[in-house]
Amino acid sequence: MAYSVAVTSGKGGVGKTSIAINLGMTLAREGQRVCLLDTDFGLANAHILLGVNPQKTISDLLNGRASMAELPCNGPAGLKLVAGGSGLTDLLKIDENIRNQIIRSTEALRDDLDVLIVDVPAGANDSAIDIIAAADRVLVVLVGEPTSFTDAYTLIKACSMEKNTHHFSVVVNMANNSSHAKDTFDRFKNITDRFLDIDLKFAGYLPLSGALRDSIVKRRPIMSDSGETPEQQSFKKLALAVAQAPENETPGLRFLGLK
């Protein structure tokens, strides 16, 4: 059965969109039918990182010019993309009805997908919390900086307290090595265990990598090519962890109309 994954972070600049893209491409390379939904309207830059030029975006859906089924465009490695529109940030922060419209509309994609990956706006705003609550699984991108810890904690707390979201997976980005990544996760989990009643799992890490930085500049994701580089191995392990992650049963609207 198809499932949805919200890829989120407490703060911007931690590599969330790049991870969402490469995770989607990894799953697509493994034979899954995957679509990336860009709801990070403040930036809406997934299409730029993928090097594609979508003909239609969510703006067209909201303006009645296209249905959700008409929006997916082809990206590398078989990944589909529903691109975010521009100039929608303020509107989506205050208008729950529009967020609900987008979530409901994804039901049109259900029969053609195995996985819907949702690139969520960074931070603990209402838009991010509602979008996360509508997803089956949640992947939080964390880096080993105090501000990342604080902001990720605030986001997870808000999702738990306001929406009863219980299960969260964490991927550590820009880690020096596996030990550094696990230590970063353990330190963060010690904080959440003290104050929150949630289930937090380590989903893996991405290395501090010049290749990953170059892939962003070149607009050619690291998973565009098959191979066994350290970065590609990390994404394969992350994809497996996400596929095995427990699902939330948050009441209310769900992506793909599954619950």
Instruction: Match domain 3-257 to its CATH number in 3.40.50.300, 2.60.40.420, 3.40.50.2300, 3.40.120.10.
Output: 3.40.50.300
Q: List the beta bridge partners of residue 172.
A: 142, 205
pLDDT, mean of residues 19-30:
97
**Amino acid identity, residue 103?**
I
- The CA distance from 84 to 82, in Å, is 7
Residues in the chain: 259
**Residue 93 is assigned to a ligand binding site:** no
- The CA distance from 212 to 203, in Å, is 19
User: When comparing pLDDT for 87 and 131, which is higher?
Assistant: 131
**Residue 12 is assigned to a ligand binding site:** yes
- pLDDT band of residue 233 (cuts 50, 70, 90) is very high
Give the pLDDT score at 85. 72
**Residue 14 is assigned to a ligand binding site:** yes
Give the pLDDT score at 90. 45
Quick check: 120 and 7 in contact, CB under 8 A?
yes
Is residue 154 classed exposed, middle or buried when 0-12, 13-18 and 19+ CB atoms within 10 A define those classes? middle
pTM of the full structure? 0.95
Quick check: 158 and 125 in contact, CB under 8 A?
no
**Residue 144 is assigned to a ligand binding site:** no
**Residue 13 is assigned to a ligand binding site:** yes
Reported as a single tens digit per residue, the pLDDT across 49-99 is 999 999 999 989 988 999 999 999 999 999 999 998 765 554 454 588 989
Closest C-alpha to 7, from 235, 252, 257: 235
Q: List the beta bridge partners of residue 6.
A: 118, 138
- The CA distance from 143 to 174, in Å, is 6
Reported as a single tens digit per residue, the pLDDT across 173-200 is 999 999 999 999 999 999 999 999 999 9
**Residue 236 is assigned to a ligand binding site:** no
- The CA distance from 54 to 195, in Å, is 43
Q: How far is CA 138 from CA 16, 78, 154, 155, 159, in A?
A: 12, 23, 15, 12, 10
**Residue 163 is assigned to a ligand binding site:** no
Query: What are the sequence ranges of the domains in the chain?
Result: 3-257
